[in-house]
Structure 1
């Protein structure tokens, strides 16, 4: 068995070396066609197309056709509706919160099958990212475009106002201290902090406190039957934000894409000192101003050690309605997109985190970190986190509905409603929704 595994590993190593060094010239018509559906736009779409072209160029067995399928929600519906037809993709990108939906659809071949066949070393890929897309110890899909939320602050502004920046691993009180000083020392002209009304941020506050939002260990130990929006962490966090808003040092930019746009604009124009946002925004923020931008880990509750936040983004799934040869080709593409070289270039060009640990040794990332030292911080936050049930995502269907209810509660709390009351109402509505969904899917039996 050991000899066989060594042979597989050596064969894989030699194939990767040949893959990188020997472009081939076999026409597309002679290759096995692999249809790849994705949802990337802007620089990410450009880089993804480049990576796919490189894959096609350096091997002669498969021809991948990358096709844009709209936003995440649109793509999920197309994937579910076309399965079993000639129109379905061989490999596709699906958003993080659709993982349970993909799993229960039974439309995919878990990538664990190919990992086992190849003796693929999954330890080279971020354990936190892998945990999000696994079930019962088996890898369902491979994480690809991943990000984490972080705290951004205007370092130049703080220096000008004579304010000590927040620590690398800030508590709620650390954030409040800096926010209050920004607001006071600017004569109330600059807001200190903003937290967009977004369900993802609510989930991350709970994850960072080690609190599960759904029972059955956030769905990792079975199908959830209830959610918990009213834990001490949830209530205390919402009260913390509400207090900052009442004091005037926090700013409410609302919810949705306009909220994010307005928040970023305020930050770049020195009307806002700090805010929470995805690590994927770091390039936009650092190139959008002459000021020096600082980056911290996601804030944690006072008196509690940070448990670590989960990732956002999407992963790569392999359809089970295709032939073995096509599925194998899909897996070869997935492996290529997760190589150290691919992931390093992916982070440098898009802002998404490089998930291959060996990517840090690539020149393109070394140059990025030398030019923009802040870009290291999100990766450090990812690498320091030990995956557990609370920070490995919520494995539950209907998370879109879950986020909408949380968003409504956050809006009410930001406007002054009692935090416990608003969260209880949202929790009651979601639990009814969960019960109805479980009954419709036969999960209640």
Structure 2
């Protein structure tokens, strides 16, 4: 029986390994049309990414340009699917020849990557050559910083932005909201649009999406989790029922009750309603900017994320992903990954990246590049998300959530938001989500040996 058990275990190990190789092979095959093969004599730097559409197209352009700009390194891109797919593959392949030298990882996976011990901090290369990291927006850096050490380099960076249809506001003689609005500023516009259109146009929509909830807290300097959102230690509790959490969700529920709210639940369908003049205001990623600008042109209005009345804007955290360098590769390969990273974040390329994709240029000097200056001159509203990013100084509450398992927390918050939109008690809905995730967090911390039972 013991030999049979050992034999079964061996077969299972071989099956698991084969499965991982198959998954990786499929990812590589799916990208074969645009993959660059390492030239003979060059150091091969495999790059795992998740970019699609315009992002993938521009990324391939950058990679080709980098490979032609020097003769020492050859970056080999491999598309790996969604963010969660990459994380799982990194965990399965680290320490093998199949793992990448550099890869993208989303903002809420920062804690997981840090605790994995699989990466080399970007700070190592920054210190080695005295690289001027101050040129990179502090809030963008904040999400991937731990103990004053930059773990990863922000790359495809976005912020949550408030969009309004300036054409509709003009039609119904409504004064637009200020660039840095309060909840009351947005309420005024939303109600007026709903009322003056004889209820034909809904004033506002707020997707039942935890990222938006998190930004409400961030902009009012309120913690999502204790230990400074996990930046100063292992978080043991989350805070979904603080003053700003209650105030923001009550504000949204008031809009539902008044009737000026268009409820899409957790489905990102606001854009279609917004572009078809059926919705006046919605909040979503700044990466939507290029599509909205094409649809509305000068009739597109943009502001910073709203803040509670009487509260100074604290700034909001960034979304998107950062670049991480694996520590299971040689120093030569790691150096190549660093050289490629610097190429991607230089002012010119960051300006081109924003223009092509809608992601924000994180290099402060990018604003001086002709390609962005011309865009901003043509449509000034395109500059608002970048101004929002630059206006905030990084602190714990606007630097993202440094907690493992945030995906589970987001699911619970999303469910609470849907209940609130349906008329359920705000506090009770958020408290149920808070209690549920605290149990998950306790179990996760215990399993990782971070707390004792």
User: Normalized against structure 1, the TM-score is what?
Assistant: 0.92
SS in 2 for 1:174: helix
**Consecutive unaligned residues in structure 2, runs of 5 or more:** 1-36
- Give the superposition deviation at 1:291: 6.1
Q: Indicate conservation of the 8 Å contact 1:39/1:70, yes or no.
A: yes
Equivalences for 1:290-439 in 2 at 5 Å? 292-439=299-446
Indicate how the Cα distance of structure 1 residues 180 and 27 shifts in structure 2: closer, same or farther if over 3 A, else same: closer
**Which residue, out of 112, 116, 121, partners 2:132?**
121
Task: Write out aligned runs for 1:16-55 (5 A).
Answer: 28-55=39-66
Work out the CA distance in 2 between the residues paired with 1:369 and 1:237: 32
**Number of the residue aligned with 1:166:** 177
Q: Tell me, yes or no, if structure 1 residue 56 matches structure 2 residue 67.
A: yes
- The CA distance in 2 between the partners of 1:112 and 1:180, in whole Å, is 49
Cα distance between partner residues in 2 of 1:188 and 1:91: 52
Equivalent residue in structure 2 for 1:108, among 113, 119, 133 = 119
Q: Paired residue for 2:275?
A: 268
For the 8 Å contact 1:193–1:274, the answer to whether it is kept is yes
Contact kept, 8 Å, 1:194 with 1:251, in 2: the verdict is yes
1:203 maps to what in 2? 214
Q: Which runs of 5+ in 1 are unaligned?
A: 1-25
CA contact (8 A) 1:154 1:291 kept: no
**1:15-37, Cα deviation, whole Å (9 max, x unpaired):** xxxxxxxxxxx981110000000
Residue 53 of structure 1: how far off its partner (Å): 0.7
**CA distances 1:71-109 after superposition (whole Å, capped 9, x unpaired):** 111111111111111100000000000000000000001
Measured in 1, the distance between the counterparts of 2:38 and 2:419 equals 59
Does the aligned pair in 1 maintain the 2:38–2:76 contact within 8 Å?
A: no
Residue of structure 2 in register with 1:230 after alignment: 241
Give 2:204's match in structure 1, choosing from 173, 193, 208: 193
Task: Tell me how far apart the structure 2 counterparts of residues 112 and 292 of structure 1 sit (CA, whole Å).
Answer: 43
Structure-2 separation of matches of 1:167 and 1:114: 42
**CA RMSD, Structure 1 to Structure 2 (Å):** 1.1
| Residues 67, 74 of structure 2: 8 Å contact kept | yes
SS of the residue 1:251 aligns to: coil
Cross-structure match for 1:213: 224
- CA–CA separation in structure 1 for the residues paired with 2:97 and 2:389: 39
Aligned equivalents of 1:97, 1:307: Cα separation in 2: 20
Could you say what secondary structure the match of 1:344 adopts?
Answer: helix
Runs of 4+ in 1 over 4 A off after TM superposition: none
- Three-state SS of the structure 2 residue aligned to 1:288 is helix
Deviation readout 1:329-377 (Å, 9 max, x if unpaired): 0011111101011101000100100011111111111111122211110
* Contact 2:119–2:326 (CA under 8 A) maintained in structure 1: yes
Partner of 1:4: none
Distance 2:313 2:298 in 1: 29
- Please give the secondary structure, in 1, of the residue aligned with 2:119: coil
Structure 1 residue 286: Cα displacement: 1.2
Match among 193, 201, 204 for residue 182 of structure 1: 193
Aligned residues: 416
Give the superposition deviation at 1:289: 3.3
Hey, what's the Cα distance between the residues in 2 that align with 1:372 and 1:236?
34
Whether the 8 Å CA contact 2:220–2:311 is kept in 1: the answer is yes
5 Å-filtered alignment, 1:71-82, equals: 71-82=82-93
